[in-house]
Amino acid sequence: MRADTATILTLTGFFAVLSLFTIGGGNSAVPEMHRFSVEVQHWLTDRQFADTFALAQLAPGPNLIIVTLIGYHVAGIAGALVATLAMCGPSGLFAYFVGRAADRFKGSAWHTALSRGLVPVTLGLTASSAVVIATTADFGWVAALVTFATATTAYFVRIHPLWAFAVAALLGLSGVL
Amino acid sequence: MNDSSPSRSLAGQSAQSPPGAPPRLVEPTLSALFIAFATISLSGFGGVLAWSRRMMVEERRWLTPEQFNETYALCSFLPGGNILNFSVIFGARLRGPLGSLVALAGLMGPPMCLIMIIGAIYAHYGEIPALRRMLTGVACAAAGLMMATVAKMARPLFRSGAVAGPLVAVATFAAIGIVQWPLPLVLAVIVPVSIAAAWVRL
């Protein structure tokens, strides 16, 4: 752990900017978190990143709680706090002011264009997250099979995420993966 | 709170329900707001939306179903975490700036403490092979769940007959998922293009 000022500043700056470029929910920012913390800063290895993602999925709370865990890994409790505050601050302020004005532009044409235009971008980002996670975890063909089986099952039936996680964790524990 | 604030609509409705209006809405105290969001957060494994609807609309009657849908739709296109934005906007409508802070603190505080404990445990025991394999399993399943979401989202988009939407989705995927360009750069180009394309089709 390197809790020096430069690291704290880098964490803060990165997540503050990311906060405003996270569209379509927390998971669409996962590829950028991976690019920056693994490829650019070398804060985590691929494997640690995949573990961090898995832990954040298992823990209760918003998906964005992965930010706290990355911050903690990089710079302990101070890192966890600044990373989380940086991720919540800018977008939170933005939401606050837009929320106050929202009644005025409800139903306007550009409102519709904005929300429709963001759908395909969100789709591309979610697909990217799935691929980044699937390729960073230490995968063999059995693991790929588990991913595929989960995807197919979840497509056709509504399953609670925890059940999927429990089955996959048990498969991992049994040594199949 | 000044007159133009959106809190008026809600407060006004609870004070003088027009005929045919849904049952009277209740205005929460700050501590009730904190507890509500902490509860939603801690019980919401991957399904925070369902929990928040049940609590806000059905149990506590803080929002009508229509208000819930409108607020949630607004949050899903604002930048940042959807449920984070929901807590900020909802808190502000009921109790002003302090309400926003309290709701956000309720949402993030408890899971933050929990995840730091998990992080500390992982720092000590993360190398145990059995734990590693279990986490790999969870990562596989999580990737699979996201792929199912992608497939569900893609169906209506690719069947609509429009070219722009699928093109934008594929381009975003190629830039972020495959080439791994920086997100802000990619979004700065692709978001305006996609919104313009949606605007033209209106």
Give first-to-last CA distance, chain A, whole Å: 30
Q: B195 vs A122: CB contact, 8 Å cut-off?
A: no
Tell me which residue has tokens 């609309």: B57
- pLDDT tens digit sequence for B26-43: 778 999 999 999 998 988
Is the domain of B92 the same as that of B40?
Answer: yes
CA distance B108 to chain A (A): 7
User: How far is residue A39 from each of residues A137, B165, B180, measured CA to CA in Å?
Assistant: 15, 30, 10
Query: Does residue B134 lie within any of the structural domains?
Result: no
Query: Does residue B143 lie within any of the structural domains?
Result: no
Single-letter code of the amino acid located at A101 = A
pLDDT at B16: 45
Torsion (CA) A95, A36, A57, B46 in degrees, nearest 10: 30
CA distance A140 to chain B (A): 10
Which 40-59 residues of chain B touch chain A by CB within 8 A? 41-48
Q: Which of B100, B123, B146 marks a domain boundary? A: B123
Query: Does residue B137 lie within any of the structural domains?
Result: no
Torsion over CA: B85, B52, B40, B21 (sign)? positive
- Nearest C-alpha in B relative to A129: B177
Q: CA nearest B77: which of A170, A115, A11, A72?
A: A115
Q: Looking at this predicted complex, what is its ipTM?
A: 0.90
- pLDDT tens digit sequence for B134-193: 999 999 999 999 999 899 889 988 888 889 999 999 999 999 999 999 999 999 999 999
Query: Does residue B71 lie within any of the structural domains?
Result: yes
Helices (H), A21-105: 30-34, 46-58, 66-105
Interface test with A, best of B140, B147, B173 (most A CBs within 10 A): B140
Q: CA nearest B87: which of A83, A113, A47, A64?
A: A64
Q: A57 vs B191: CB contact, 8 Å cut-off?
A: no
SS3 content of chain A, % helix, strand, coil (to 5): 80, 0, 20
> Which tokens is B79 given?
């930048």
Q: Which of B77, B106, B123 marks a domain boundary? A: B123
Is the domain of B168 the same as that of B113?
Answer: no
Average pLDDT of the segment spanning B66-76 = 82
Tell me, yes or no, if A98 comes closer than 8 A to chain B by beta carbon: yes
A114 versus A91: the higher-pLDDT residue is A91
Which 22-61 residues of chain A touch chain B by CB within 8 A? 22-27, 29, 31-32, 35, 39, 47-48, 50-51, 53-61
Is the domain of B40 the same as that of B118?
Answer: yes
Interface test with A, best of B45, B115, B170 (most A CBs within 10 A): B115
Is the domain of B119 the same as that of B181?
Answer: no
Q: Is-contact A171 A146, C-beta < 8 A?
A: yes
Query: Does residue B146 lie within any of the structural domains?
Result: no
Cα–Cα dist B69/B74, whole Å:
9
Average pLDDT of the segment spanning A15-20 = 96
Would you say residue B44 has pLDDT above 80?
Answer: no
Closest partner CB to B169 (pick from A65, A87, A123): A123
Query: At B3, is the pLDDT very low, low, confident or very high (cuts 50, 70, 90)?
Result: very low
What single-letter DSSP state applies at residue B25?
P
pLDDT at B2: 39
Tell me, yes or no, if B147 comes closer than 8 A to chain A by beta carbon: yes
Could you tell me how many CB contacts below 8 A there are between chain A and chain B?
375
Is the domain of B23 the same as that of B106?
Answer: yes
Report the domain count for chain B: 2
Q: Which domain holds residue B49?
A: 7-123
Query: Does residue B118 lie within any of the structural domains?
Result: yes
Q: A57 vs B46: CB contact, 8 Å cut-off?
A: yes
Q: CA nearest B148: which of B17, B46, B24, B29?
A: B46
Query: At A106, is the pLDDT very low, low, confident or very high (cuts 50, 70, 90)?
Result: low
Is the domain of B110 the same as that of B195?
Answer: no
Q: A31 vs B9: CB contact, 8 Å cut-off?
A: no
Is the domain of B36 the same as that of B105?
Answer: yes
Is the domain of B26 the same as that of B92?
Answer: yes
Q: Rg of chain B's alpha carbons, rounded to an integer? A: 21
Q: CA nearest A171: which of B142, B144, B130, B125?
A: B130
User: How far is residue B172 from each of residues A26, A59, A125, A166, B154, measured CA to CA in Å?
Assistant: 16, 29, 6, 32, 13
Query: Does residue B11 lie within any of the structural domains?
Result: yes
Q: Which residues of B are less than 8 Å from A76 in CB distance?
A: none
pLDDT at B7: 40
Q: Which residues of A are less than 8 Å from B158 in CB distance?
A: none
- Nearest C-alpha in B relative to A137: B136
Query: Does residue B152 lie within any of the structural domains?
Result: no
Average pLDDT of the segment spanning A19-36 = 93
Is the domain of B17 the same as that of B83?
Answer: yes
Tell me which residue has tokens 């939407």: B165
Would you say residue A2 has pLDDT above 70?
Answer: no
Closest partner CB to A120 (pick from B42, B151, B169): B169
pLDDT at B23: 56
Is the domain of B12 the same as that of B110?
Answer: yes
Q: A177 vs B73: CB contact, 8 Å cut-off?
A: no
CA count, 13 A, side-chain hemisphere, A38: 20
User: How far is residue A73 from each of residues A34, A42, A78, B89, B124, measured CA to CA in Å?
Assistant: 14, 12, 10, 31, 12
Q: Which of B94, B123, B152 marks a domain boundary? A: B123
